[in-house]
Structure 1
Amino acid sequence: MGRRIDYYDDPQAPSANSLVPAVNIVVENDRGEILMIRRTDNDNWALPGGAIDLGESVTQAAIRETKEETGIDVEITGLLGIYSDPKHVIHYTSNDEVRQEFSIVLKAVPVGGKLLLSAESAEVLWIDPSTASGLRMHNSMRARLQDAFSEKSPPIIS
């Protein structure tokens, strides 16, 4: 399995060679905790998410990715924002793909399932948002979390 390497505004970063629409999901339970995974490809903490497949909607992709990575079924409740900063590129070493960031971030609530690990998630936890800030994660993911719990009015477009 290859690695995922995130670069931001890094002159040493490889040039992007693809643009793939993706989705991340901020799932908040009734205790105010958020669902997070520790990724297997870079050991960083992240919101569930992934690429939108041909033939599926953004909502369908969000529901599928959350279930695949965490075991939790969700109901989509809204749009947090769209993140498309060309300074953020993601290098997948397995096939040398370098994606320019393009992530639609949705909000959701859990409606079933139980926490499960997957090939993409080494850990799956419900985390208090104030604790999440101390976890190892890429700054792009940290920005999504800050936006989710800030006083800004969604949607955020960056």
Structure 2
Amino acid sequence: MEMSDSLPGCAVREVKEETGLDIEITGLVGTYTDPRHVIAYSDGEVRRQFNVCFRARAVGGTLALSDESTELRFVAPSELDSLPMHHTQRLRLQHALEDRAGPYLG
């Protein structure tokens, strides 16, 4: 996040940088702060991750790989179980697909 960013503004910018897509934020899925979600990077940096997950829709752009992505594609919800992902990512997707009345706060 840049010092001049809002959280939604950061999400819009990051999606554009990492996928080539222009998005419009339409809501908040939730906040996720699982203390088990620790990532050790190859340069030795270790971080405990947190996530603010927004609901959004694509409004333009073209899907394109970036330095931060190796594969991009849209998948049907029925395909999600077969994809390898961290349990915290799976939880965020589950909550987004449930279309909850309010955001998850955890």
Same fold (TM over 0.5): yes
Alignment of 1:45-84 (within 5 A): 52-84=1-33
* Percentage identity across paired residues of the two chains: 45
Aligned 8 A contact 2:34 2:88 in 1: no
Please report how far the alpha carbon of residue 54 of structure 1 lies from its aligned counterpart in structure 2 after TM superposition.
2.1
Higher helix share: 2
Please report how far the alpha carbon of residue 101 of structure 1 lies from its aligned counterpart in structure 2 after TM superposition.
2.0
Aligned partners of 1:77 and 1:64: how far apart in 2? 15
TM-score by length of 2: 0.92
Question: How many positions carry a matched residue from both structures?
Answer: 106
Aligned partners of 1:85 and 1:137: how far apart in 2? 15
Q: What secondary structure, in the 3-state scheme, does the structure 1 residue paired with 2:73 have? A: strand
Please report how far the alpha carbon of residue 129 of structure 1 lies from its aligned counterpart in structure 2 after TM superposition.
1.4
Aligned partners of 2:29 and 2:102: how far apart in 1? 5
Q: What are the Cα deviations for residues 59-95 of structure 1, in whole angstroms up to 9, with x where unaligned? A: 111011111111100000000000012122111122x
Task: Give the 4+ runs in structure 1 shifted more than 3 A.
Answer: none
Higher strand share: 1
The one of 137, 146, 154 equivalent to 2:85 is 137
TM-score by length of 1: 0.63
RMSD: 1.3
Alignment of 1:6-155 (within 5 A): 52-94=1-43, 96-150=44-98, 152-155=100-103
Unpaired runs of at least 5, structure 1? 1-51
